[in-house]
Each structure stands twice: as structure tokens, then as C-alpha cells.
Structure 1
Amino acid sequence: MRQSAETSARPWLPQLLTLFSPAFPIGGFAWSHGLESAVAEGVVTNGDGVADWVALLLDRGSGWNDLVLMAEAFHAAAAGDQERLASVAELGVALAGSAERRAETLALGAAFAEASAHWAGVGGGPGAETPAGLSAVTAPCGGLPYPIAAGRLAAMAGLPLADTLIAYAHGFAASLVSAAVRLVPLPQSVAVRVLHGLEPAIGDAASRAERATLDDLGSSALGSEIAAMRHETLHTRLFRS
């Protein structure tokens, strides 16, 4: 099968499609990021509500912070700065606003680090000599948050930051929309419409995060943070967060 010239010029594209595919074995289907509480309490009731909820997280909520942390982890790994990487990992855990959010990011990070070990060192970047040790650098609290693990792997595999941020942001949005399909519930046709409508928000968040620094971290999506906390005492639950 002949590759197109465009695909040949972007050899990392198949890697990104695999790493951030819903089929990649990190267990993302088990977490709703607090959305389950929002649906149970009648805050999110339809496709438009889901779109607004996810767009807010990407613009100025946990999704945005994840992208900034991922970019910082990418730069730290590309520079071979293990101390900087451990520091941003610790920050990533500290920014988790609830026990379940903390468990979510650490569980996804550990699973991603293990599953993506095949790609470590593909680009010959820092740490390429020990691909099996992808998760060796851990925060003092005991783990690599998901965006940190993803950013580190991207640098080690020689993946471009801009495209990796888009792939991560899309995966973040798609995971929440998938959860909404089961929770609201949403028809598949509505879910596809929601994802299509979120494309500008995904691209904008990724573009801003590429130029961002840790000074740009911050969240004003208080409803989402409260929903994540309230999920811990939700009587009936399908998801772990």
C-alpha cells in the first residue's frame, strides 16, 4: 500500500492516532471527570449542555490545565531535566481538586506509561536509552499524572508538541462525550454533532497551550470541581469519578 505524500511527511500521525485513540488501553471509559454528578443533579441534560461543559473545561478548566502541564512536561523531557519533570508531576497532582480527580489522573498516567512503552525512544530523545523506564520519574507523592506521562512520552518519541496537544485535547473531549452518551443519555448522532462543534475549542486550547507557561495555569470552572467532589458521595454510580 502506497502512503500519500502528506502522510509520509508526517510519520508521527499514525502514532498520535494510536496513542490518543479511545481504544488505547488506559481505562478512560471508567472515569467521567465529575460529569456523572452534573447529569444526576440536572445540571447537564442534553447535547448542548455537554458541549458547554466540555468547552468550558478546555477553555479555563481542568482540560486547559492538563494541556499546560503536558507542554511543560514535554519541554522538561526534551531538555533531559528530570528534576523539572518531577516538579511538574507533583504540581499536576496538587492541581487535582478532589480525591477522585487525583485517582483519575494517576491511574490514567500509570496506564498510559505502561501501554506506551513501545513508543519510548522512537525519536532518540532524552531517556531513549531506557524505554522500559518510561514511568521511572515519579512525583514525590507517588505517580505521574496523565498529562505528564503523555508529555514525557511525546518528547521521548520525537512527536511534535503542537499536534500532540491537539490529539490530547481531542481525546479529553471525546472521552467526556462518550461518558455523556451513557449518562444523559445522548443518541450517537447528537454525540457526533457535539464533537464536531467542539473542534474549534479543541484547536484553540491546544494552540494557546503550546505558547503557555506554568504562569498560565488556572481554573474558573468551579461547577466542574464541585461536581467532582460531590461524586464521591453519589448514591448510584457508573463511573469512578
Structure 2
Amino acid sequence: MRDGGALSLLPLFAWLSPSFPVGGYAYSHALEWAVEAGDVEKEDSLLSWLSDLLLYGFARSDAILLSHAFDAAGRGDAAALAEVKALAVALAPSAELRLETCQQGRSFLDAVLAAWPHEQLDALAPALKGDVAYPIALGLAAAAHGLPKPAVIEAFLLALMQALVSAGIRLAPIGQTGGTRVLSTLAPKVAALAQEIPALTLDDLGTATFRADLGSFRHETQYTRLFRS
């Protein structure tokens, strides 16, 4: 979106705000199990857990998928967009994590179609029928509205970390100030990773956060839960 020739990032700020209706507050990406298991107890262990998810886990992979969805949408290539969408859904390691990304992806896409219309978005949205992972929906919307990919990737990664820090504050004995310190420490890592993502291919996809993935299975049977994942 442009006003007087200047690129506006306001749509991005709105879309990645906690108030945007995607229901992200309902998911912890297995952090709830990590707290119950004792893996995350204090500020330092939350930072370690989230750093791994960022650099070696789903955050990095989702950013790669977002990047490729953005490029496909920018070319108007519906077939490529549908292909990366199918890959993103297939890569979800558990039923809960598939629900997390697909529910947010569908809610995001429906909200943007209703409130932030664009003819390119309307033209390519049919390629995302059925289950659609969150980063794919964001990549399509951002490309359709002409947002700069580097800013989109960086903001997306930071928003993921913000959501998990918020979940950590609710789950563990970590105060608001501690959570803010965790996010501040993660920010340079987010920026560095975001710079690497555009050069990565789909062959670079992969995670090494096995305990978090297994935790998502165990979360399904937790006796008391606040989150859906």
C-alpha cells in the first residue's frame, strides 16, 4: 500500500498485532507442556527454549515457507503457491501443531480478505482452499499488498516470539519485565535470521527441536491445560 509514493507498513502492523483475529493467544506451541515438565521454569530457561525454536525449530522453517509463498504470490503463480501451501501443512509434526498453524492461517486469510481487499489477493486466494498454514496466508497477503519481504519476515519472526513470551509469562513464574528482557535478547537473533531467510530454498527446511515436537503429543493428554497446543 502506498500513499504519496511512500510505502506504508501499517497493514503489517495491524496483521501481526495480538488484536488481529487469528486466535494466536490460544496456542503455546507445546510451551505449556515444557513448563509442566520442568524444562521451562525461569527467565533463562524460557530464553533458551525460545532461542532453539527460533533458530532450529518451527520459526525458521515457517519463515522459509513464508518467503516462498511471498515469491509465488508476487509472480502470480497459483500452482507454486498451492504447492508450498501443501508442503507447509504436511510438515506439521503433530495434530495439535497442525491445528495451530491451519486455524490461524485460515482465520488470518479470511480476515484479510474481508477487511483488506486487493484484486491480486482475491485472484490467488482460491489456491489456498482448505487447510492453509499461517505463514503461507501471510506471505500471500503481504505480496498482494506490495509489502517489502525483508520487513515481513522480520516482523513475522518477532511476532512469533512475542506470542510465545506472552504464553510463557502466563504459564511460568516470569514477570512482565522478565518477559520483556527475553524478547529484547531474542531481537538481534530475529534480525540476523531474517536476513538469511530470503536466500534459503525449500531444501533448507528442517527442524531439530525434537523435545518440543514430542511435547506437542504429550500436551494432548495433559490433565489441565490453558492452551490448545
Per the TM superposition, whether the score is higher than 0.5 is yes
1:165 aligns with 2:149: no
- TM-score by length of structure 2 reads 0.93
2:170 maps to 182
What 5-or-longer segments of structure 1 have no aligned partner? 1-6
Give the 3 Å change call, closer, same or farther, for CA 21–10 of structure 1 in structure 2.
farther
What 5-or-longer segments of structure 2 have no aligned partner? none
Provide the rounded CA distance (Å) in 1 between the counterparts of 2:158 and 2:199: 18
- Give 2:16's aligned amino acid: F
Q: Which moved more, 1:153-162 or 1:202-211?
A: 202-211
Offset at residue 16 of structure 1 (A)? 1.4
SS in structure 1 of the partner of residue 45 of structure 2: helix
SS in structure 1 of the partner of residue 22 of structure 2: coil
State which of 208, 215, 219 in structure 2 corresponds to 1:220: 208
Kindly report the root-mean-square deviation, in angstroms, between the aligned alpha carbons of the 2 structures. Answer: 1.7
- TM-score by length of structure 1 reads 0.89
Q: Is the 8 A contact 1:73 1:88 kept in 2?
A: yes
Offset at residue 10 of structure 1 (A)? 5.2
Structure whose residues are more often helix by fraction: 2
- Give 1:20's aligned amino acid: L
SS in structure 1 of the partner of residue 220 of structure 2: helix
Please give the per-residue CA displacement for 1:52-101, whole angstroms capped at 9, x wherever unaligned: 11111111111111000000000111111111111111110111000000
1:239 maps to 227
- Give 2:53's aligned amino acid: L
Q: How many residues are treated as equivalent by the alignment?
A: 226
1:54 aligns with 2:44: no
1:35 maps to 31
Offset at residue 209 of structure 1 (A)? 1.0
Q: Is the 8 A contact 1:135 1:144 kept in 2?
A: no
Provide the rounded CA distance (Å) in 2 between the counterparts of 1:180 and 1:8: 42
State which of 100, 113, 116 in structure 2 corresponds to 1:119: 116
Q: Alignment identity in percent?
A: 40
